[in-house]
Chain A
Amino acid sequence: MNDDTRKTLAPLESNSPERLPEIFASIREDFDREAAAVRDAQQWKQLHDAWLGRKSGVIANITENWLKSAPRELKSAVGQSLNALRAHIESVAAQREKELREAAEQAALSRERADLSLPGAIRALGCRHPLRQTFEEIERIFLSIGFSVVEGPEIETPYYNFDALNIPETHPARDTMDTFYVSTPAGSPPRLLRTHTSPMQVRTMEKRKPPVRIIVPGRVYRRENPDASHSFAFHQIEGLAVDRDITFADFKGTIEYFAGQFFGPRTRVRLRPSYFPFTEPSVEFDASCSMCEGGGCRLCKQSGWIELFGAGMVNPAVYQFVDYDPKQYCGFAFGLGVDRLAMIKFGITDIQLFFQNDARFLRQFP
């Protein structure tokens, strides 16, 4: 610290203008040395007060002691040197302050840096059941191509579940759908738990004339012992389109569109002739096996194909039950197995997982 600034210039014997630069250079050197030694905010405050303090800082002293008392001929030179010195000190002090702050921040950051491998505060969110997600996805696909959604009862009459679908009591197809019956009060007509969503075909056509274009999501029941691929309750989405100019081509276009949307463009599909009492021609709709991509594996029983669902053109015999003229109207119907589609899509190997609702299972479908 240069104590000379506490005195006037005169005793310094520096009245000659030639001496001034030397004096100021020396002060500046003092400052630079002190500034360089500053290590923290407190030292910086001391530096700032010593040099720029209003009352007794060096700059204030020079102004008071040197400038004010300077002889006329020196005033201008002292003023210029003082201004230069003040500018230098202010600038360096600001620079040092910035450096110190940044260093402090840096130090704090490295101390407080968040461990990114730690979990954040998790607000528990619920997951949607994979079956419901599958229902929604299928419904969205069919809505986008003009199918309306309808629902129907699970407790049905044999008429809607069988007879009106061209499955009379004597038909061997009844044996392929083991049925749960409901205990009914004496004298009441028999009731059963529907074995498929197809009764809604009949219920819908009874109520309205074509054009009909519906899907029917719902639960169905078969009296089968449960195992990894069977459940006595499972889920279907029925589809039905009837109109004057519906053909097999519309059917094919519709379910191929569905498969492309649901499984993605890489999946190949095929229609294979089959038999159902309420469709004719009847088909099974197969997709290339997602596990082996068609090469043959255990999942697809070495065939390269996975059976997805049954479908076909509505059997004209069904129209007789709903008073549609089979010469005028033509249509198609399909019954998607939602559980099966979800199992294939997510690679789920046991249908029972859907109904156990273990949280560890549910959380896998955010």
Chain B
Amino acid sequence: MKILFEWLKDFVDIPVTPQELRSRLAMTGTAIDAIEQTAAGTMLDTEVTINRPDCMGHLGVAREVAAIFRTPLRPPNVDFRETSEPTSKAAQVSIECPDLCGRYTARIIRGVKVGPSPDWLRKRLEAIGQNSINNVVDATNYVLMELGQPLHAFDYDRIAEHHIVIRRAKAGEKMRTLDGIDRTLGNSMCMIADASHSVAIGGVMGGQESEISSSSRNVLLESAWFDPVSVRRTSKALGLRTEASIRFERGCDAEMAEFASRRCAQLIRQLAGGEILAGVIDIYPGRRERARIPVSQREIVRVMGASVPDSEIEAILSALGFVPRRTAGSANSDASAWECTQPSWRADVTREIDLVEEVARHYGLDKFPARLPAAREPAARLPHAAARERLKERLSALGYHEIVTIPFVEPVRDDIFRDPGVQPVSIANPLSEDAGILRTSGIPNMTATLEWNINRGQKNVRLFEIGAAYRWNGAETVEESVLTIGATGMAREKSVADSPREFNFADLKGDLDQIGELAGGFDWTAGAPSWLHAARSGTLALSGEFSAEKGIAGQLSREAADKLKLRQEVFLAEFPLAPFYAAFDAARVGRRFMPISKFPAVERDFSLLLKDGVTFAQVRDAIEELAIAEVISIEAVDLFRGGQVPTGKHSLLVRVTFQSMDATLTESQLAGFASRIIDTLSSRLAAELRAA
């Protein structure tokens, strides 16, 4: 709501500059977005909260100003002379839907001369963003901006039988509104009609047929109160928000309707001449008792933590129109209590807490003390906070940057990576098709982020995201926490101190194994979704009770990379975090110190010639099954094919480390171990020992 400083001064003395007023208004709840200079003086662009329709006009803001400076409010004076002809003889009003229209007033001004508005008025309206139309319409808009009450001026002669009927729209009824658009109406909408057809959509917009034109001579002036919920639904259904609808939907002041009618009639006569018929037609089925609301010092202390001087409470509530009347306690006693009367313009204030807020905001929130609440219970982190922290720490140490993406993805992109049978969650009203569903895994966003970086020259990146994957599980939605990893480019870039090396599947596997170590280790098995490279991929699972949910890792297949236009090799992995966190906790609980032997460890290398298809795991298992207590590690340290190695075979260098807790191992012991190992490998795996 744009407010003119000079216009405010019509109703209240302001002892400060606009800049100072801005901060005082802000500190009592009326935020000012900006201050601008206009042809009509300083304009304050106020951001009126939706509970305060009374501040959608200058008078309401002036009341706040009066309360701030404790100066009197001067509402406009609306004395005027009327003709002897009674309004009630010249027109008729019937309300058929009192649930939608709580009050309807009509006044008639005869013999107006429609023309341009005077300069002072045009300047004011234009300064607050309203086009000047003609003096009669401008008068209604001026009063709207002054009092916050929407009004409508009809051409009296275009109202059939001079009979206003307020009724629900007939299903499928059509009307052309002032903006020239044909609207189809529904049964829940409140229409203003005459004896034959609709002339306006109540509280939203007038119709074109009955609008004031340059030839209009007589005006029927509507000032009414429409049900906020109904106006809001109508406005939403029609996609039509107007200065009138935004006020009615927040709840206008039914009492103001008649006052605004008088004010507007006075202004029309002042601007366009004519004479005002005697009296007003005022149908008021929605008249309400004003609520009596208590407020006590005790409640102020209970909510705000400190009391407010009685005199301040009384001054504030009086200035805002609540008419406080003491009901208990003597001045400044803990027992002080008042009963207030709800002003008609404050439908938002109905409870004691509402009055506490009124007092607090005008007394000054800065005047209340601050303290830290006493602790009653220990604070708890998320159950998996420690696991997640350690996981992220490892990922950072391994060189992965953390990313945060928005999980809306294009359905075709998600399709590439989605397991058949997974039902994605779609957005019913997406902003665009390429953000139409919630991702079913972190992979679509991860590949998109790699692509973003590669396309911008960031070709060597390793990324991870801890995020959610979304899907339907029957009638319930599931948000599963997953870790997604993506890597591309060089594992190590060329530098003065280093030679370059490309990231490969072994890097991905090694990184995942270092992560898995936190949770008892990953077991790898062959097989992965088809969008991963058939040879360079695998499935990983935690051990034991945490093995049910599996992860995948590998190089993106050429076909999928082509679809995504990724022009370099990309490595991806994802696994669910709930079992990982659980396994992390179990591993931590079960972790025990292993004594370190005082005796030297001895390494023995076995250079094995193996048939292709024999895996390192088989070699390791075969050695482990010998159950030699002194074997403390079995590692693969070199692998090669070709050269002197016959086709169909490969050479694997296996390093076994021996150590005893009790003594230094002797050469004969070591020779014994080695021959047992060679025997079992050759008999079980047909391994040949090459010259080491």
Contact = CB atoms under 8 A, between A and B. Distances in A.
B392 A128 contact: yes
A271 B366 contact: yes
A3 interface: no
Interface in B491-539: 492, 495-498
Contact of B370 (A131, A252, A275): A252
Contacts of B249: 172
A243 B428 contact: no
Nearest to A217: B382
A254 B379 contact: no
Interface stretch (A18-26, A36-44, A76-84, A357-365): A357-365
Contacts of A241: 373
A280 B305 contact: no
Contacts, number: 245
Interface in A340-366: 354-360, 362-363
Interface string B212-244: 000000000000000011001100100000000
A272 B27 contact: yes
A232 B304 contact: no
A148 B250 CA distance: 37
B50 A129 contact: no
Contacts of B250: 172
A316 B353 CA distance: 8
A154 B468 contact: yes
B427 A272 contact: no
Contacts of A132: 392, 402, 404
B463 interface: yes
Contact of A281 (B52, B360, B495): B360
A357 B405 contact: yes
Contacts of B401: 126-127, 129, 357, 359, 362-363
Interface stretch (B29-37, B193-201, B634-642): B29-37
A150 interface: yes
Given A247-B305, A248-B368, A357 B449 contact: yes
Contacts of A191: 477
A254 B373 contact: yes
A183 interface: yes
A95 interface: no
A254 B373 CA distance: 7
Contact of A280 (B23, B357, B368, B477): B357
Most chain B beta-carbon neighbours within 10 Å: one of A118, A183, A193, A257: A183
B50 A172 contact: yes
Contact of B402 (A127, A175, A180, A281): A127
Interface in B42-75: 49-52
A145 B372 contact: yes
A178 to B, nearest CB: 9
A119 B404 contact: no
Contacts of B357: 273, 280-282
A330 B426 CA distance: 39
Interface string B379-402: 111100100000010011111111
Which size class do B's interface residues fall under? 35 or more
B495 A211 contact: no
Contacts of B397: 125-126
B104 interface: no
A123 B228 CA distance: 64
B562 interface: no
Interface in A270-287: 270-275, 280-284
A250 B29 contact: no
A127 B229 contact: no
Interface in A288-322: 301-303, 313, 315-316
Contacts of B228: 170, 172
Interface string B354-386: 101100110001101111110111111110010
B430 interface: yes
Given A183-B427, A250-B371, A274-B31, A280 B304 contact: no
B666 interface: no
A121 B404 contact: no
B377 A211 contact: yes
A213 to B, nearest CB: 7
Nearest to A168: B229
Contacts of B22: 303
A120 interface: yes
Given A151-B382, A316-B353, A272 B31 contact: yes
A301 B23 CA distance: 13
A246 B365 CA distance: 16
A148 B380 contact: yes
Contacts of A184: 428
A281 B354 CA distance: 8
B458 A358 contact: yes
A228 interface: no
Contacts of A358: 452-453, 456, 458
Most chain A beta-carbon neighbours within 10 Å: one of B26, B233, B375, B397: B26
Contacts of A188: 475
B351 interface: yes
Contacts of B154: none
B28 interface: yes
Contacts of B468: 154
A352 B447 CA distance: 18
B573 to A, nearest CB: 15
Given A172-B50, A253-B373, A275-B50, A247 B303 contact: yes
Contact of B371 (A172, A253, A284): A253
Contacts of B26: 272, 303
Contacts of A120: 497
Interface string B573-589: 00000000000000000
Contact of A124 (B49, B366, B372, B399): B399
Nearest to B407: A233
A275 B51 contact: yes
Given A128-B392, A129-B402, A153-B479, A181 B427 contact: yes
B464 interface: yes
B629 interface: no
Contacts of A231: 406
Contacts of A170: 228-229, 232-233
Interface string B158-195: 00000000000000000000000000000000000000
Given A182-B425, A252-B369, A146 B303 contact: no
B396 A126 contact: yes
Given A122-B495, A249-B369, A274-B31, A148 B379 contact: yes
Interface in A203-228: 211, 213, 223, 225
A143 interface: yes
Nearest to B492: A124
Contacts of B402: 126-129, 132, 362
Contacts of A247: 301-305
Interface in B448-484: 449, 452-453, 456, 458, 461-464, 468, 470, 472, 475, 477, 479
Given A155-B477, A301-B33, 11 more contacts: A146-B377, A155-B470, A184-B428, A188-B475, A213-B377, A249-B305, A249-B306, A272-B31, A273-B360, A274-B49, A358-B453
21 contacts: A126-B397, A126-B464, A128-B392, A145-B379, A146-B373, A146-B379, A149-B385, A151-B382, A172-B232, A180-B427, A180-B429, A183-B428, A211-B376, A232-B435, A247-B303, A248-B305, A252-B371, A280-B354, A281-B360, A356-B452, A359-B401
Interface of A: 118-129, 131-132, 139, 142-151, 153-155, 170, 172-173, 175-176, 180-185, 188, 191, 193, 211, 213, 223, 225, 231-233, 241, 243, 246-250, 252-254, 256-257, 270-275, 280-284, 301-303, 313, 315-316, 330, 354-360, 362-363
Interface of B: 22-23, 26-29, 31-35, 49-52, 228-229, 232-233, 236, 249-250, 301-306, 351, 353-354, 356-357, 360-361, 365-366, 368-373, 375-382, 385, 392, 395-408, 425-431, 435, 438, 449, 452-453, 456, 458, 461-464, 468, 470, 472, 475, 477, 479, 492, 495-498
